């Protein structure tokens, strides 16, 4: 069992930056692939970024590529999402997710565990 807790969300002006953190419980964090997803009101949950268990492989949605960076610290059982050059269309609830896999996973239905979500609001 893995429990995930997101933090770092908030309100920011367009062009600003935020860093989301996702702290995981459990001693096998390093064996999990991690992902970030987001869901805006009235829309489906969409993939944002993912990272392999070692951190060596990352993958991004086209909409955030070049602006967002996913990283992880296995010693701290934490995955991060650095978000730069934020746009109003980035406004959503951001969720982190974990899957017992050594590969990068981009499909939400493949993830085993989810956090409660963190609200990110970007004002224009």
* pLDDT at residue 120 tops 90: yes
pLDDT confidence tier of residue 30, bands split at 50, 70 and 90: confident
Q: Of 61, 58, 50, whose CA–CA distance to 110 is shortest?
A: 50
Cβ partners under 8 Å of residue 17, min gap 6: 82, 83, 84, 85, 86
With cut-offs at 50, 70 and 90, classify the pLDDT of residue 31: confident
pLDDT score, position 110 = 93
Q: What is the CA radius of gyration of the chain?
A: 13
Q: Which of 35, 40, 7 is closest to 22 using CA atoms?
A: 7
Query: Model confidence over 51-88: pLDDT tens digits?
Result: 999 999 999 999 999 999 999 999 999 999 999 999 99
């Amino acid at each position: 069992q893995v429990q995930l807790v997101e933090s770092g969300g908030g309100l920011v002006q367009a062009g600003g930056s935020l860093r989301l953190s996702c702290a995981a419980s459990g001693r096998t964090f390093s064996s999990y692939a991690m992902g970030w997803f987001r869901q805006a009101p009235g829309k489906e949950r969409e993939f944002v970024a993912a990272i392999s268990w070692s951190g060596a492989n990352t993958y991004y949605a086209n909409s955030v590529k070049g602006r967002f960076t996913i990283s992880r610290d296995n010693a701290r059982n934490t995955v991060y999402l650095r978000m730069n050059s934020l746009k109003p269309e980035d406004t959503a609830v951001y969720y982190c997710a974990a899957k017992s896999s050594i590969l990068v996973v981009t499909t939400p239905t493949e993830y085993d565990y989810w956090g409660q979500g963190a609200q990110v609001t970007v004002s224009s």
